[in-house]
Copies of this chain bind each other. A is one copy, B any other.
Amino acid sequence: MTNEKLKNLFSPGSIAVIGASNSFDKLGYHVMKSLAGNYQGKIFPINPKAEKIWGIDAYRSLKEVPEQVDLAVIVVPASLVAETVHACGRKAVKGIVLITAGFREIEDAKGEVLEHELRAMADRYGLPIVGPNTFGYVNLTLGINASFTSEFCQIEKGGVALISQSGGMCHLCGFLAIDERVAMSKLMSLGNRCNVDFPEMLRYLVEADEATRVIALYIEGLDAPRDLIETAASLRGKKPIIAYKAGRSEKGDSASRFHTGSLAGNHDIWTGALRQAGILQVESADELLDTAKALDACALPGGPRVAVLSGQAGPGMIASDALERVKLQLSRFAAATQEKINNLLPPIAIRTNPVDMGPAWYNPKAMLEILQAAVEDEGTDGVIFLAMYASANLKLAEELEKYMKALEPFRKPVIACFTAPPGIWDESIKRLDRQKGVVILATPERTAKAMGNLWKARLLWGEKR
Binding site for B on A (CB under 8 A): 24-25, 27, 29-30, 33, 106-108, 111, 148-151, 154, 164-169, 171-172, 174-176, 178-179, 218, 220, 244, 246-249, 251-252, 254-256, 258-260, 264, 283-286, 310-318, 320-325, 330, 347-348, 350, 352-354, 356, 388, 390-392, 395, 419-422, 424, 443-445
User: How many copies make up the complex?
Assistant: 2
Q: B312 to A179, Cβ gap below 8 A?
A: no
- A249, B318: Cα distance in complex, Å: 9
Nearest opposing residue in chain B for A101, CB measure? B358
A30 engages B317 (CB within 8 Å):
no
Distance between A359 CB and nearest chain B CB, rounded to angstroms = 9
CA distance A51 to B149 in the complex (A): 58
One of B172, B174, B310 near A315 (C-beta < 8 A): B172
Q: Which of B168, B256, B392 contacts A149, CB < 8 Å?
A: B392
Q: Is the CB of B255 within 8 A of A391?
A: no
Contact A356 B443 (CB under 8 A): no
Return A363 CB to nearest CB of chain B, in Å.
13
CB distance from A97 to the nearest CB of B (A): 15
Contact A172 B444 (CB under 8 A): yes
* Contact call A317/B421, Cβ cutoff below 8 A: no
Known: A249-B321, A422-B178. A391 touches B312 (CB 8 A): no
Q: Can you sample 13 A-B contacts with CB below 8 Å? A: A150-B391, A151-B390, A165-B314, A166-B314, A167-B312, A168-B311, A168-B313, A171-B390, A218-B314, A248-B320, A248-B321, A251-B352, A252-B320
In the docked arrangement, what's the CA distance between A166 and B164, Å?
Answer: 40
Contact B247 A422 (CB under 8 A): no
Cα A391 to Cα B391 in complex, Å, equals 33
**Given A171-B388, A443-B284: A248 and B424 interface contact (C-beta under 8 Å):** no
Report the minimal beta-carbon distance from A68 to chain B, rounded to whole angstroms. Answer: 29
Q: Is the CB of B350 within 8 A of A255?
A: yes
Once the chains are docked, how many angstroms separate the CA of A179 from the CA of B169? Answer: 22
B107 touches A347 (CB 8 A): yes
> In whole Å, how far is A364's beta carbon from the nearest beta carbon of chain B?
14
Given A321-B248, A324-B249, answer yes or no on A220-B179 (Cβ-Cβ < 8 Å): no
Q: How far is the CA of A419 from the CA of B169 in the complex (A)?
A: 11
Smallest CB separation, A360 vs chain B (Å): 14
Once the chains are docked, how many angstroms separate the CA of A318 from the CA of B239? Answer: 26
When distances are taken between beta carbons in the complex, the residues of chain B under 8 Å from A247 are 317, 321
CB contacts (< 8 Å) of A151 on chain B: these are 390-391, 421, 424
Nearest opposing residue in chain B for A148, CB measure: B392
Closest to A319 in B: B252
Residues of B within 8 A of A422 (CB): 154, 175, 178-179
B contact residues around A167 at 8 Å (CB): 312, 314
Residues of B within 8 A of A164 (CB): 314
**Chain B: CB-nearest residue to A359:** B106
- A111 neighbours in B (Cβ, 8 Å): 348
In contact, A388 and B108 (Cβ under 8 angstroms): no
Which residues of the other chain, B, contact A30 by a CB distance below 8 angstroms? 391-392
